[in-house]
Amino acid sequence: MEKEPSKEFFWKTYEKLPEDLKEAIFSENNNEAVKTICSRLNLTEEQSSLVAKYTGRTLMGLLPLKELPITLELELNIEESVANQIIKELTYAIFRHLRVSLNKIYSDNYFENIPLEEDAKIQKDAIIEKKEKPIKYDSYDPYREVL
């Protein structure tokens, strides 16, 4: 079994997260969603606690969503179909609303670009802006509205 990371590690990681993920981690609605999903699938209280734990780690950027099903399957000792059903319902209830921030934190260099400061402010240099190029239509598009 792996050594459990320290509380200090979790708080430092938490401080670096986007605001919507910080709110989602301690959201009562998300907590209720996890409880409801687990009870519907007849999971024990201990298994439900593990689902909440690993859901939180996914929201913190510590466990990629694509690894969550196998983690649940192994840690909860459940069938693959049950793990996939949990993921399907968690995605609908929690993760889909946070996909922009989750994609951002799972990019390869998100945490490296954000300095850890006591007040957890993000410096302007850490924010990367991308300008989108306008789409050029080379051919006639019958569905395009005339301006």
In angstroms, rounded to a whole number, what is the distance separating the alpha carbons of residues 56 and 63? 9
pTM: 0.69
Model pLDDT, residue 65: 87
In angstroms, rounded to a whole number, what is the distance separating the alpha carbons of residues 137 and 143? 12
The string of pLDDT tens digits covering residues 52-110 is 999 999 999 888 888 999 999 999 999 999 999 999 999 999 998 898 888 888 876 55
Q: What's the mean per-residue pLDDT of the chain?
A: 78
Name the DSSP class of 44. -
Domain regions of the chain by residue span: 7-119
Model pLDDT, residue 144: 60
- Phi-psi group of 61: left, alpha or beta (phi > 0 → left; psi -120 to 50 → alpha; rest → beta): left
Cα separation values, 52 from 7, 45, 47, 117, 129, Å = 17, 11, 9, 28, 34
Instruction: Please give the structure tokens belonging to residue 98.
Output: 């946070």
Name the DSSP class of 146. P
38 in Cβ contact with 81 (< 8 Å):
no
Residue with tokens 């999903």: 37
